[in-house]
Amino acid sequence: MKLAGCAENVSLTRRGLLGAAALTGLAGAGLSTSLAFADPGYTGDTLVVLSLRGGFDGLSAVAPIGDPDYYRARPAISLPKSQVIAGDGMFGLHPALAPLLPAWKAGQLAAVHAVGQGNPTRSHFAAMEAMENAAPGTSIRTGWLDRMLGATGATGPLAGVSLGHAMPARLFAGPAPAVAMSSIDKFTLAGDSDKRPMAAALRQMYGDGPARAADKALTAVRAVTAKPAATYPATDLGAALRDVARLIKSKSGLVTAAVDCGDWDMHDALGTAVKGQRMYDNLTDLASALAAFTADLGPAGMAGVTVLTISEFGRRVEENASRGADHGHGNAMLLLGGGVRGGKVYANWPGLSPGALIAGDLAVTTDYRSVIGEVLQSRCGFGALDAVFPGVKPSSFGLATLRS
């Protein structure tokens, strides 16, 4: 599902990202960024959430090469054992993830397999809405990043940022302050200029309301002066992660950054593991951007950062006639950071035999929220998770070190 280019109109508000002060920027097709800041008192990791929209195929990215049913179900698009990198006999990484191999070998990159949501819906909208709300069976309608920010006491002028038609706003929906931007350099009040001082006019009209919040956000963004120390790929994803790194290096008080990246809906031409095939090229983009981000921050910067991926659902186990895979259920997550216990795949693997599947899909044995919950507790200073994920217990994989 390649997401359409975003309109040049993004907004700031104190509730739910809907408000009176418009901010502008050019969001690239298929990508949006969200940035959130909190008070300097927060001492946990910066949490970077990559939403891989469209239904990421975890069975291609982290192939279960030790499960013979994988090859039975995917005779044309399965990943040959001879092509995997970082293989352990049971799982192997797709060769397009090679730019991240140094991080894997350094123990900073890990994967978690057979993760997902309890409800195996195959609707993009319903599945992503549920994943970003992350409170099924309750009356809670806020986004889980909004709740996370609330739990940290985030009140800064840039407490949360979202943009674009991909609607990452659902992650931040709620009372935490939120602002939308496409990029740091293009973050400005719509129509504001020396000849047309929109910010001053709005301050006069609204006082300490949305205009004042917009003014504070603009001031904070203008203080971001750090420049890239690595070469990023010339892609929307590369540009977004470059801005996240700039915010971190500028000591802006960044608590969480959400980057929305589409085009993972591969019903056809998912392809084999060679350059020019859709999955290969998408994974190359993802890995190259993350490798540049890691190099830009360096070991000291990455020591306080955790990156994780989410996607609304995985792909079906069995390939279709178009050498692709249709909407499925269970999936894989990637985790990257200085506090990640990497170099391995964590999984309660259910197997891919016909009897182990859920309506033809990989079964979910680990709630994605429990994986994030373990990161929140180990790296972000959280105790009980109920304020963010009601009723959820953290996973017990030991996938992250305890931040001192």
In whole angstroms, give the CA distance from residue 25 to residue 175.
24
- The predicted model gives 135-154 an average pLDDT of 92
For residues 370 and 155, what is the distance between their CA atoms, to the nearest angstrom? 26
- pLDDT above 70 for 15: no
Could you read off the pLDDT of 40-58 as tens digits, one per residue? 568 899 999 999 999 999 9
Look at residue 401 and tell me if it is in a domain: no
pLDDT at 162: 64
Would the pLDDT of 23 be above 60?
A: no
Does residue 217 register a pLDDT over 90?
A: no
If you write DSSP's letter for every residue of 274-335 in order, what string do you get?
STTSHHHHHHHHHHHHHHHHHHHHHHHHHTTEEEEEE-S--B-SS--TTSS--B-S-EEEEE
139: left (phi over 0), alpha (psi -120 to 50) or beta: alpha
Q: Indicate if the pLDDT at residue 29 is higher than 50.
A: no
Does residue 168 register a pLDDT over 60? no
User: pLDDT digit string (tens) for 301-341?
Assistant: 999 999 999 999 999 999 999 999 999 999 999 999 999 99
* From 8-12, 197-201, 204-208, 303-307, the region with the lowest mean pLDDT: 8-12
- Is residue 386, in this structure, part of any structural domain at all? no
Query: Average of pLDDT values for 281-295?
Result: 98
Return the pLDDT at 166: 40
- Contact between residue 227 and residue 199 where contact means Cβ atoms under 8 Å apart: no
Q: Which two tokens stand for residue 249?
A: 């290096």
Residue 400 dihedral angles phi and psi, to the nearest 5°: -145, 145
* Host domain of residue 311: 10-379
Q: Which has the minimum average pLDDT: 58-62, 169-173, 302-306?
A: 169-173
| Range with top average pLDDT, 37-51, 108-122, 215-229 | 108-122
Asked whether the predicted pLDDT for residue 16 surpasses 50, the reply is no
Global confidence as pTM: 0.89
Average the pLDDT over 61-76 and give the result: 98
**Who has greater pLDDT, 176 or 116?**
116
| Mean pLDDT value of segment 96-116 | 98
Q: Check if the beta carbon of residue 308 is closer than 8 Å to that of residue 253.
A: no
The pLDDT of residue 203 is 61
Answer yes or no: is 400 within a domain: no
Q: Counting Cβ atoms within 10 Å, is residue 344 exposed (0-12), middle (13-18) or buried (19+)?
A: middle
Across all residues in the chain, what is the average pLDDT? 85
pLDDT of residue 360 exceeding 70, the answer is yes
Instruction: Indicate if the pLDDT at residue 204 is higher than 70.
Output: no
Would residue 392 count as lying in a domain?
no
Q: Could you give the CA distance from residue 283 to residue 79 in angstroms, rounded to a whole number?
A: 14
- The answer on pLDDT for 37 being more than 80 is no
Tally of CA atoms within 13 A in the half-sphere of 138 that contains its CB:
17
Q: Does the structure show a pLDDT above 70 at 39? A: no
Do the domain assignments include residue 399? no
The number of folded domains in the chain is 1
- pLDDT above 70 for 167: no
Residues 116-141 pLDDT 10s: 999 889 999 999 999 999 999 999 99
CB atoms within 10 A of CB 200: 12
